[in-house]
């Protein structure tokens, strides 16, 4: 069940919301929480009923094991519990990849095949590993089964994150028991976030995807793209994944808020970052937090000297890449980001500074675009073909429509031309890239449209960051940031209704489209 | 919520009020659809009905085929944008027991994900019976997704009428060419010379492919023989290696539908195109028709069936 589907928006969500609020007001909170957990299991089972037992097995297995883990003791049990999660993930996500590589290396045929990836397994496994680690560290008490189950399965985050930390969720579940009034303000803000996320997904991200995907497919089919097309494909995907993931994160936050539950922020205008270090503080923030707390720091972090720090960074990014998908292209993507981070840290260590702040923005985006090509390409040869085209190694032809301009400039004899079969679609795609690029580079984060409202678990930290950023970058981020107090006026309420209506029309006129992060 | 509800209600009322009116686009297509249906109904049976989009309408001469094979042949080329569901539904109403339906759908119809705007626009005008037979969920989607351009086009039609002249067609349903030469100017030819090959693929989950599957099932019940052939398209050497043709052929073969001719029979150079990659000029139509007739002549089992009225 997709967030951007009729069945979710018109049937599932209204029923779950009604049931939750009726149960919370008429009976008591535990029943409401149980309803929410059961609804979330239904949501998961609706994807593929075969994997519901796996999710339940994972939850019950981890919950039972966590009962017996004593802080600082029962090391063997703790190791067994972590291994249990890693083995599940390894089997369902990486077995095919492993077998493919064994076959490639040895030439032998391994009979085991057709292991289907259960949706969301990377997310619910990481969420529970963090819980187990903290349980062993003594940082958390044992919750009740219903609250634990809801923490893992709560449908807004179950499929594609954010990767929640039990501390920030359990406290909310427990606080909710003392609260009985309906938080209308949070509900309205949640609805706004849902509406904005829907528009971002179905209008912007999907339009960019329908432009970029055929270009990547053509490269995968062996066509050497013209440089203009290769850059268009790379930029199209750069912006598609931005708006797709941003949309998902906002919809997840919005949906949770409609139940009065706050999530941590997962996405904070990452293409406005002026360095790769900054980029990773803004992109998939809960994954960065998980990798920092449960991998980078245990590996030694920056405590063992600069060389070890670089090695640790590279390990974290390579594993982060592999987490996204069982393919060497993802590993390379992680490796590229590891390399970028190493260069960035080295640069900072030398105390160097760029002469103009916008150059940092440009270089960061360029580095990210280059890495996304590998991330999106089906395989290395496809990525290599696109890189060759981007590097002008497959010619420098321009669209036929540029001929008159080049003739006017006296350059027509030096440059070739190409024609896209569907001229209108090509130029509409370029227009989407231009518009979406301006929004990504200069638009203010949607989360800042609700001043004075608590919408995230890490609100205070974020506001501190935003304030510091505003002082530092007065030229950026404010160009399109004039919309304040969005939920405060009646006009805004009408606008949100119309935005939802627009989204519903687009949902019904386009093919179903999953969020890109669902495949991870 | 009130504004969302009002917008939804207003939209549905607008669709209900304006839906049955013709739009500029649907008026032209519907006139052609109804004319071809009328001609096909009055044609003698058993007949060969060549079904497809404008690639059939502007690419095959049913009259010439009829003459060379000595059997009744009707051109039932409608508009690819209306989708295979609509085209085949209209075909069902003119096919009789013993007839032969030859499918020549444009390549992109084997790989669609959603019905096009044209499909809904046209069906709301001259296919309301077809729409009424669709599942409720599909009808809701259709009503919600109707583009406003289609509604404005209805208003334009109501004020201005149909600005396009309907092309004249023969009793076999063939377009009568006003000029034997191509409509393409030099700049169009220059563009098409730079075109890249299309992606030829078959998506088994495509709604259009599913409609073809359902039609073949219906034809078996109705004692209508189904054949398939390749649509006209611009030739590219890369097509020699394309796997999509095999996938399309396999799809039909698995359903017990023989393929007539080879993909290359329907591929032409720029000089034989009229305006798009699927439309041929008079010389192109003649060339394509000769090849298709020859391929059918090589299937005496088919032509004999058309010659035996007792079938």
Q: Give per-residue pLDDT as tens, A167-206.
A: 888 888 887 765 567 788 889 899 999 999 999 999 999 9
Helix pair A328-349, A357-376: axis angle to 10 deg: 160
Q: How far is B45 from chain A (nearest CA, A)?
A: 40
What pLDDT is attached to residue B227? 95
| Residues of chain A positioned with their CB less than 8 A from the CB of B114 | 509-511
**Overall average pLDDT of the A306-322 stretch:** 93
Higher pLDDT, A481 or A92: A92
Determine whether the interchain pair A421/B198 forms a contact, defined as Cβ–Cβ distance below 8 Å. Answer: yes
| Residues of chain A positioned with their CB less than 8 A from the CB of B4 | 496-498, 500-501
Which of A60-69, A463-472, B299-308 is most confident?
A: A60-69
| Residues of chain A positioned with their CB less than 8 A from the CB of B192 | 419
Residue of A nearest to B148 (CA): A505
Locate the DSSP E strands across chain B: 48-52, 73-77, 100-103, 225-229, 233-234, 259-260, 267-268
Q: How many Cα atoms sit within 13 Å of B136 on the Cβ side?
A: 0
Determine whether the interchain pair B199/A218 forms a contact, defined as Cβ–Cβ distance below 8 Å. Answer: yes
Look up the pTM and report it: 0.87
Nearest Cα residue to A39 out of A62, A63, A59, A12: A12
What pLDDT is attached to residue A25? 81
* Residue where the block lists tokens 């991998």: A295
What pLDDT is attached to residue A450? 82
Determine whether the interchain pair A498/B8 forms a contact, defined as Cβ–Cβ distance below 8 Å. Answer: no
What pLDDT is attached to residue A484? 44
State the best of B15, B142, B144, B190 to mutate against chain A, taking most chain A CBs within 10 Å. Answer: B144
What pLDDT is attached to residue A489? 61
Q: With 90 as the cut, is the pLDDT of residue A507 above it?
A: no
Determine whether the interchain pair B144/A504 forms a contact, defined as Cβ–Cβ distance below 8 Å. Answer: yes
Q: Chain A within 8 Å of B271 (Cβ-Cβ)?
A: no
Closest Cβ–Cβ partner in A419, A421, A498 for B7:
A498
Determine whether the interchain pair B190/A400 forms a contact, defined as Cβ–Cβ distance below 8 Å. Answer: yes
Nearest Cα residue to A140 out of A203, A191, A77, A67: A67
Nearest Cα residue to A249 out of A279, A276, A270: A270
Q: With 60 as the cut, is the pLDDT of residue A348 above it?
A: yes
What pLDDT is attached to residue B185? 80
Summarised one tens digit per residue, pLDDT across range A373-382 is 999 999 999 9
Residue of B nearest to A506 (CA): B145
Determine whether the interchain pair A508/B113 forms a contact, defined as Cβ–Cβ distance below 8 Å. Answer: no
| Residues of chain A positioned with their CB less than 8 A from the CB of B199 | 214, 217-218, 221
Q: Chain B within 8 Å of A380 (Cβ-Cβ)?
A: no
Q: Chain B within 8 Å of A223 (Cβ-Cβ)?
A: yes
Closest Cβ–Cβ partner in B5, B117, B194 for A417:
B194
What pLDDT is attached to residue A503? 83
**Overall average pLDDT of the A35-44 stretch:** 95
| Residues of chain B positioned with their CB less than 8 A from the CB of A219 | none
What pLDDT is attached to residue A412? 74
Q: How many helices (H) and strands (E) does chain B have?
A: 14, 7
Residue of B nearest to A423 (CA): B191
Q: With 90 as the cut, is the pLDDT of residue A320 above it?
A: yes
Note the helical H segments in B83-116: 83-92
Least confident of A252-261, A408-417, B18-27, B159-168: B159-168
**Overall average pLDDT of the A27-34 stretch:** 84
Summarised one tens digit per residue, pLDDT across range A321-333 is 999 988 999 999 9
Which of B 9-38 lie inside 8 A of A, CB atoms? 11
What pLDDT is attached to residue A480? 45
Q: How far is A55 from chain B (nearest CA, A)?
A: 29
What pLDDT is attached to residue A477? 47
Q: How many Cα atoms sit within 13 Å of B49 on the Cβ side?
A: 34
Catalytic residue positions of A, numbered: 324
Residue of B nearest to A490 (CA): B3
What pLDDT is attached to residue B311? 46
Q: With 60 as the cut, is the pLDDT of residue A481 above it?
A: no
What pLDDT is attached to residue A178? 54
Q: With 60 as the cut, is the pLDDT of residue A17 above it?
A: yes
Alpha-carbon torsion angle B57, B59, B64, B70, nearest 10: -80
What pLDDT is attached to residue A486? 47
| Residues of chain A positioned with their CB less than 8 A from the CB of B140 | 6, 508
| Residues of chain B positioned with their CB less than 8 A from the CB of A421 | 195-196, 198, 277
Nearest Cα residue to A177 out of A1, A273, A57, A34: A34
* Residue where the block lists tokens 């440009």: A362
Mean pLDDT of chain A: 88
Q: With 60 as the cut, is the pLDDT of residue A482 above it?
A: no
Q: Chain A within 8 Å of B8 (Cβ-Cβ)?
A: yes
Please, which residues have CB within 8 angstroms of residue A127's CB and are 6 or more apart in sequence? A151, A152, A163, A164, A166
Closest Cβ–Cβ partner in A421, A498, A500 for B196:
A421
What pLDDT is attached to residue A128? 93
Please, which residues have CB within 8 angstroms of residue A259's CB and are 6 or more apart in sequence? A17, A20, A36, A190
Q: How far is B265 from chain A (nearest CA, A)?
A: 22
CB atoms within 10 A of CB B143: 18
Cα separation, B59 vs B76, in Å, equals 11
**A327-to-A107, A295, A333, B205 alpha-carbon distances in Å:** 19, 21, 10, 27
Q: Chain B within 8 Å of A510 (Cβ-Cβ)?
A: yes
Q: Chain A within 8 Å of B160 (Cβ-Cβ)?
A: no
Q: Chain B within 8 Å of A423 (Cβ-Cβ)?
A: yes
Summarised one tens digit per residue, pLDDT across range A83-142 is 999 999 999 888 888 888 888 888 887 776 677 888 889 899 999 999 999 888 888 888
Q: Which residues, given as ranges, of chain B have pLDDT below 70?
A: 1, 163-164, 180-182, 309-311
**Overall average pLDDT of the A426-448 stretch:** 92
Query: Does A134 sit behind a cis peptide bond, omega within 30 degrees of 0 on the bond before it?
Result: no
**A198-to-A191, A195, A286, A489, B121 alpha-carbon distances in Å:** 10, 5, 21, 21, 26
Q: Say how many CB pairs under 8 Å bridge A and B.
A: 66
| Residues of chain A positioned with their CB less than 8 A from the CB of B13 | none
């Amino acid at each position: 069940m997709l967030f951007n589907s009729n069945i979710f928006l018109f049937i599932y969500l209204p029923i779950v919301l009604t049931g939750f609020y009726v149960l919370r007001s008429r009976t008591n909170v535990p029943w409401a929480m149980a309803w929410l957990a059961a609804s979330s299991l239904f949501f998961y089972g609706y994807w593929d009923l075969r994997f519901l037992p796996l999710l339940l097995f994972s939850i019950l297995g981890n919950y039972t094991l966590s009962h017996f883990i004593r802080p600082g003791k029962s090391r063997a049990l703790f190791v067994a519990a972590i291994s249990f999660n890693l083995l599940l993930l390894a089997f369902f996500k990486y077995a095919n990849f492993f077998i493919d590589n064994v076959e490639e290396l040895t030439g032998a045929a391994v009979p085991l095949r057709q292991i289907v990836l259960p949706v969301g397994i990377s997310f619910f496994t990481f969420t529970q590993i963090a819980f187990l680690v903290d349980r062993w560290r003594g940082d958390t008490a044992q919750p009740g089964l219903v609250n634990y189950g809801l923490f893992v399965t709560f449908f807004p985050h179950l499929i594609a994150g954010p990767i929640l930390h039990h501390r920030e969720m359990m406290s909310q579940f427990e606080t909710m028991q003392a609260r009985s009034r309906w938080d209308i303000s949070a509900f309205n803000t949640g609805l706004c976030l849902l509406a904005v996320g829907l528009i971002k997904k179905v209008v912007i991200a999907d339009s960019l995807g329908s432009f970029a995907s055929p270009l990547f497919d053509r490269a995968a089919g062996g066509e050497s793209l013209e440089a203009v097309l290769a850059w268009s494909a790379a930029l199209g995907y750069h912006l598609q994944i931005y708006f797709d993931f941003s949309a998902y994160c906002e919809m997840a936050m919005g949906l949770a808020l409609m139940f009065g539950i706050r999530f941590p922020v997962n996405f904070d205008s990452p293409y406005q970052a002026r360095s790769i270090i900054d980029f990773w503080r803004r992109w998939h923030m809960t994954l960065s937090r998980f990798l920092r707390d449960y991998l980078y720091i245990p590996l030694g972090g920056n405590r063992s000297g600069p060389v070890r720090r670089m090695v640790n960074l590279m390990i974290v990014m390579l594993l982060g890449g592999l987490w996204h998908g069982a393919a060497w292209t993802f590993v390379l993507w992680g490796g590229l980001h590891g390399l970028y981070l190493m260069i960035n840290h080295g640069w900072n260590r030398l105390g160097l500074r760029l002469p103009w702040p916008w150059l940092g923005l440009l270089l960061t985006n360029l580095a990210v675009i280059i890495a996304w090509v590998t991330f999106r390409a089906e395989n290395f040869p496809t990525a290599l073909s696109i890189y060759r085209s981007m590097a002008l190694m497959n010619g420098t032809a321009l669209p036929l429509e540029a001929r008159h301009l080049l003739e006017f400039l006296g350059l027509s004899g030096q440059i070739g031309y190409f024609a896209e079969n569907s001229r209108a679609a090509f130029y509409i795609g370029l227009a989407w890239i231009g518009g979406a690029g301006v929004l990504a580079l200069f638009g203010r984060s949607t989360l800042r449209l609700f001043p004075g409202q608590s919408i995230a678990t890490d609100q205070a930290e974020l506001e501190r960051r935003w304030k510091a950023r505003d002082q530092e970058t007065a030229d950026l981020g404010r160009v399109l940031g004039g919309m304040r107090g969005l939920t405060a006026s009646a006009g805004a309420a009408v606008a949100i209704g119309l935005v939802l209506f627009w989204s519903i029309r687009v949902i019904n006129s386009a093919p179903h489209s999953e969020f890109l992060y669902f495949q991870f | 919520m009130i504004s969302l509800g009002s917008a939804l209600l207003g939209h549905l009322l607008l669709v209900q009020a304006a839906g049955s009116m013709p739009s500029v686009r649907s008026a032209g297509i519907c006139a052609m659809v109804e004319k071809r249906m009328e001609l096909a109904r009055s044609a003698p049976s058993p007949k060969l009905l060549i079904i497809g989009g404008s690639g059939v309408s502007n690419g095959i001469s049913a009259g010439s085929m009829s003459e060379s094979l000595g059997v009744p042949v009707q051109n039932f080329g409608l508009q690819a944008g209306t989708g295979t569901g609509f085209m085949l539904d209209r075909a069902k109403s003119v096919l009789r027991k013993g007839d032969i339906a030859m499918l020549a759908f444009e390549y992109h119809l084997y790989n669609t994900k959603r019905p096009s705007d044209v499909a809904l626009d046209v069906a709301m005008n001259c296919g309301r019976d077809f729409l009424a037979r669709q599942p409720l969920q599909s009808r809701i989607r259709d009503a919600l997704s109707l583009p406003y351009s289609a509604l404005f086009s209805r208003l334009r039609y109501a004020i201005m009428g149909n600005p396009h002249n309907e092309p004249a067609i023969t009793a076999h349903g063939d377009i009568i060419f006003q000029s034997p030469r191509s409509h393409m100017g030099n700049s169009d030819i220059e563009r098409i010379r730079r075109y890249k090959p299309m992606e030829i693929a078959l998506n088994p989950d495509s709604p259009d492919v599913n409609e073809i599957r359902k039609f073949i099932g219906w034809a078996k019940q109705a004692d209508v023989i189904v054949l398939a052939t390749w649509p006209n398209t611009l030739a590219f050497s890369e097509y020699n290696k394309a796997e999509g043709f095999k996938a399309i052929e396999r799809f039909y073969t698995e359903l017990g539908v023989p393929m007539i001719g080879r993909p290359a029979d329907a591929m032409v150079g720029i000089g034989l195109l009229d305006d798009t990659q699927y439309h041929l000029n008079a010389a192109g139509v003649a060339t394509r028709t000769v090849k298709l007739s020859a391929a059918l002549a090589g299937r005496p089992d088919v032509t004999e069936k058309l010659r035996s009225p007792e079938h």
